[in-house]
Amino acid sequence: MPKPYPIPDDLTRPFWDAANRGQLVIQRCQSCRRFQHLPNVMCLSCGGADLAYEPVSGRGTVHSFTIVHEARHKAFREIQPYAVAAVELEEQPGLLLLSNLPGTPLAGIHSGLKVEVTFETVSASQRLPQFQPTGQYNSGHVTAGVER
Amino acid sequence: MTTRAAVVGVGHSRMFRRDEVPLGQLALEACRNAIADAGLKPADIDGVCTNPEQGFEDAGSIDGINIVTPGFVEQALGLRTRWGLRVWASTVLKAFATTVDAVAAGRCNYAVVFRAIYNPKGRYGQGANPAGYAGNGQSGGGGQFTGPYGVTAPANAGLVAQRYFHKYAAKREMLGTFLVNNRKNALLWEWGYWYQHRPEPLTLDQYMNAPDVCWPLGLYDCDLPVHACGAWVITTPERARDLRHRPAYVRGMATPYSQIPNRTWNLEEFEEGGKRVAENLFESARIGPSDIGVANLYDGFSIFVPLWAEALGLAAKGEGLAFLIREESRIGGRTPINTSSGNLGHGRMPGVAQLMESVLQVMGRSGARQAKHADISVATAGLLTEGQAIAFGRDPA
């Protein structure tokens, strides 16, 4: 059973379109320069309305993680146990993105693990930002369709 | 006197694991019990309030079966209300606080506020559309950033717990030790699931060897969905004096609107959010941490309890778990925590056991669970980023 895939909306489409190009972009306030995720119509730090999606390095560290043994969605029940990690991007403290750290042995996951972005094909029309330990694949390249 | 409302009656229905009895029937049981507990009759009640929505999608909306609205109770009990409101909230503390305000404003004299929780047969949240997923297997809205990663509520709690353990060098054994004691409290809490259906102790071995749900959290770190209703009767301090029990005076309330939907839970945001709720409560009640004689802190997942204890200043940051396994936080100790056994002992009825027991403690009606210094009790509910807190006093202020 295929995993659920995201439905972009007017606010989030640039994020998902970039993922399809193999690029990680994060919404950034053009007034106070703070990044924010999840996307919003305004900057939650300064209230600014001038927001743009800017490319980021895709490098970060594992801020926290959990191993899911009891999934809700059928597709995830088929592959459990699996990891869910909150990855803190190096651009800004507290700037967190989720990942399943595909291809990473569960026992090898720890707080502070250095990771970099990769992109998982989750449907015919959508790729999903994921992360994996730094240096595992060619950094900066698009690894299409990471499957586990 | 600045205190403008008091709780004069508490009531609870029979406790079921699933919907063997229509929810409406249980709501009437709870409301009737609370009204009788106050020494009143339904004819005296002129205000009614609840938050009927259930905590999972696809719960259904049939009044009396899937949900229970204020109108259902008004009709069934033949109430002649002057004030009534349906509140949109997950925990009952917001409906409760709104009812306190209505009584204080003179909109009604005796109000009943209740919370009915529905648990259908089958696995919780395993309906056609589990939380965060549209029926076609896609994830839209805020769920587009969580659904594709298989994130569930327990997964969010697991992220918070792992971060807490890592940051503060805490251990699962500590959480387990707290839960072993919490089960002892559950066996003193007559309205709860464990007391009524499985009156058995929990051992640390059982805790440590239980199936993982979202590591580092396991089976006993998660509350159990149940099917039941709790209710309270609220009136003014002047009217309260003539009723059956010593009143529980409402001394302060914090019910901010700070929900950030579909956000991944994060320890640091929980710490900040909890602190804001606590500051708001202390300002409202004009009390400080050392005034709290007993606290019933929300525990939809066990890891919330140390975080609430820290937010309220009962323990230093990162030391909540150490506090929870010391004698001082147990029944008989200086500041007993979760004498009701919370959601983890009562069942998944966010805010119900917490409010009931906080009221009973300052009334002096907690029996074997009674705290030594129950001049001020505090109930909290909700995720800390969107939480609420209410303080009760043995005396008005």
pLDDT tens, position by position, B122-155 = 766 554 444 445 444 567 677 889 999 999 899 9
Q: Which residues of B touch A (CB under 8 A)?
A: 125-126, 130-134, 137-142, 144-152, 154-155, 158-163, 166, 211-217, 262-264, 266-268
pLDDT value for A22: 97
Residue A44 has pLDDT above 80, yes or no: yes
Rounded to the nearest 10°, the torsion over CA B147, B152, B155, B156 is 90
Rounded to whole angstroms, what are the CA distances from B223 to B69, B192, B300, B302?
24, 12, 6, 8
Helix, coil or strand: residue B92: coil
pLDDT confidence tier of residue B260, bands split at 50, 70 and 90: low
* Average pLDDT, integer, range A131-148: 57
Indicate if the alpha-carbon torsion angle B90, B290, B337, B5 is positive or negative. Answer: negative
Stretch among A129-138, B309-318, B383-392 having the lowest mean pLDDT: A129-138
pLDDT value for A135: 79
* Average pLDDT, integer, range A8-36: 97
Subunit contact A5:B137, Cβ cutoff 8 A: yes
Q: Which of B287, B271, B191, B204 is nearest to B231 (CA)?
A: B191
Residue from the list B126, B144, B211 with its beta carbon closest to the beta carbon of A7: B144
> A99 to chain B, minimum CA–CA distance in Å?
6
Alpha-carbon gap, residue B41 to B28, rounded angstroms:
13
The 10 Å Cβ neighbour count of residue B370 is 17
* Average pLDDT, integer, range B351-355: 98
Residue A145 has pLDDT above 80, yes or no: no
Alpha-carbon gap, residue B240 to A9, rounded angstroms:
53
* Average pLDDT, integer, range A132-141: 66
Subunit contact B137:A111, Cβ cutoff 8 A: no
Q: Touching check for A8 and chain B: CB below 8 Å?
A: yes
pLDDT value for B119: 95
Alpha-carbon gap, residue B159 to A66, rounded angstroms:
5
Q: Which residues pair with B234 in a beta bridge?
A: B7, B111
pLDDT value for B259: 61
Average per-residue pLDDT in chain B? 94
pLDDT value for A123: 87
Q: Touching check for A5 and chain B: CB below 8 Å?
A: yes
- Nearest chain B residue to A79 by CA distance is B150
Q: Can you give B219-272 as a three-state secondary structure string?
A: HHHECCCCEEEEEEEEECHHHHCCCCCCCEEEEEEECCCCCCCCCCCCHHHHHH
What six digits make up the tokens of B328?
Answer: 């001082």
Residue B362 has pLDDT above 70, yes or no: yes
C-beta separation of B321 from B175 below 8 A: yes
Residue from the list A2, A4, A70 with its beta carbon closest to the beta carbon of B139: A4
Alpha-carbon gap, residue A70 to B391, rounded angstroms:
36
C-beta separation of B285 from B361 below 8 A: no
Contacts of A103 (CB under 8 A, 6+ apart): A132, A136, A146, A148
Tell which of A84, A88, A117, A130 to mutate to test the B interface (max B CBs under 10 Å).
A84
Residue A136 has pLDDT above 70, yes or no: no
pLDDT value for B123: 65
C-beta separation of B212 from B218 below 8 A: yes
Stronger pLDDT, B122 or B112, i.e. the higher one: B112
pLDDT confidence tier of residue B168, bands split at 50, 70 and 90: very high
Residue from the list A1, A70, A98 with its beta carbon closest to the beta carbon of B264: A98
What six digits make up the tokens of B5?
Answer: 């409302």
- A35 sits in which H/E element: strand A35-36
Residue A7 has pLDDT above 80, yes or no: yes
> A117 to chain B, minimum CA–CA distance in Å?
14
Stronger pLDDT, B301 or B136, i.e. the higher one: B301
Q: Which residues pair with B248 in a beta bridge?
A: B7
Q: Which of B112, B100, B114 is nearest to B68 (CA)?
A: B114
pLDDT value for A143: 42
* Average pLDDT, integer, range B335-355: 98
B166 to chain A: which residues are within 8 Å by CB? 64, 111
pLDDT value for B143: 83
* Average pLDDT, integer, range B212-241: 98
Tell me which amino acid residue B253 is: M
Average per-residue pLDDT in chain A? 91
pLDDT value for B56: 80
Write the Ramachandran bin of B362: left for phi over 0, alpha for psi from -120 to 50, otherwise beta: alpha
pLDDT value for B312: 98
Helix, coil or strand: residue A109: coil
The separation between CA A108 and the C-alpha centre of its own chain, rounded to angstroms, equals 19
Cis omega (within 30 of 0) for bond into A39: no
Predicted ipTM of the assembly: 0.92
pLDDT value for B138: 63
A96 to chain B: which residues are within 8 Å by CB? 264, 266
Q: Which A residues 52-81 touch B at CB under 8 Å? A: 63-73, 75-76, 81
Stronger pLDDT, A27 or B386, i.e. the higher one: A27
B159 to chain A: which residues are within 8 Å by CB? 64-66, 84, 86
C-beta separation of A106 from A91 below 8 A: no
Helix, coil or strand: residue A59: strand
Subunit contact B214:A82, Cβ cutoff 8 A: no
Q: What is the DSSP letter of A64?
A: E
Residue B387 has pLDDT above 70, yes or no: yes
Tell which of B126, B138, B149 to mutate to test the A interface (max A CBs under 10 Å).
B149
Length of chain A: 148
Phi, psi values for residue B75, rounded to 5°: -65, -50
> B375 to chain A, minimum CA–CA distance in Å?
40
* Average pLDDT, integer, range B20-47: 98
- B283 sits in which H/E element: helix B267-285
Alpha-carbon gap, residue B88 to B133, rounded angstroms:
22
Subunit contact A72:B216, Cβ cutoff 8 A: no
Residue A141 has pLDDT above 80, yes or no: no
Q: Which A residues 79-118 touch B at CB under 8 Å? A: 81-82, 84, 86, 94, 96, 98-100, 111
Rounded to whole angstroms, what are the CA distances from B89 to A39, B49, B106, B351, B375?
24, 12, 23, 11, 29
Alpha-carbon gap, residue B94 to B106, rounded angstroms:
19
* Average pLDDT, integer, range A55-67: 98
C-beta separation of B354 from B296 below 8 A: yes
> B130 to chain A, minimum CA–CA distance in Å?
6
pLDDT value for B57: 74
**Percentage of residues of chain B with pLDDT beyond 90:** 88
* Average pLDDT, integer, range B314-324: 98
What six digits make up the tokens of A25?
Answer: 């972009």
* Average pLDDT, integer, range B230-258: 96
pLDDT value for B86: 97
Q: Which of B199, B172, B205, B208 is nearest to B341 (CA)?
A: B199
Tell which of A64, A121, A130 to mutate to test the B interface (max B CBs under 10 Å).
A64
C-beta separation of A27 from A37 below 8 A: yes
